[in-house]
Amino acid sequence: MADLFDLVSLANKLQRDLDTASAEEARRIAQAWLGSATALTVWPTPVPEDLRAWALELAALVYDNPAWLVSEQVADTATTWFLARRNEILSEARQAYGTGGAASGRAVGCFPDPACLPDPIEGFWTARRYLV
């Protein structure tokens, strides 16, 4: 599967030089999360801007915070990460590209209408009467 963005775009988003191996890993993680959320096995060509933007933002989150910390303080500098953003992005991706499979959170298969099921109180006796 082709990449959703190049590493230069990630460096531009983060506004600094990147370690190539860490940036590639962050890109792979972001694309895996989006792939699971959308159930897409092949990225559309050309890549839609929403997918590209989500992938870049997820990769930036991973690159900046690989240990997935909530906050960190070093001397007088404190940093807090908005971890809920990952779930927001993946939820948006599910809604936009979900196919109705398990990845989209919807039931898969054919299920009877609940009104067709027997009454739980009388169901045992009704079913027994027909079986005997």
Q: Which two tokens stand for residue 26?
A: 């962050």
What are the phi and psi torsion angles at 119 (to 5°)?
Answer: -65, 130
* Confidence category of residue 104, pLDDT binned at 50, 70, 90: very low
- State mean pLDDT over 65-89: 80
Is cis: bond before 118, omega within 30 of 0? no
Identify the pLDDT of residue 46.
92
Residues 9-21 pLDDT 10s = 999 999 999 999 9
Q: Which residue carries 């959308």 as its tokens?
A: 38
In DSSP terms, which residues pair with 78 in a beta bridge?
Answer: 73
Q: pTM of the prediction?
A: 0.69
**Which segments of 75-121 does DSSP mark as H helices, in order?**
84-97
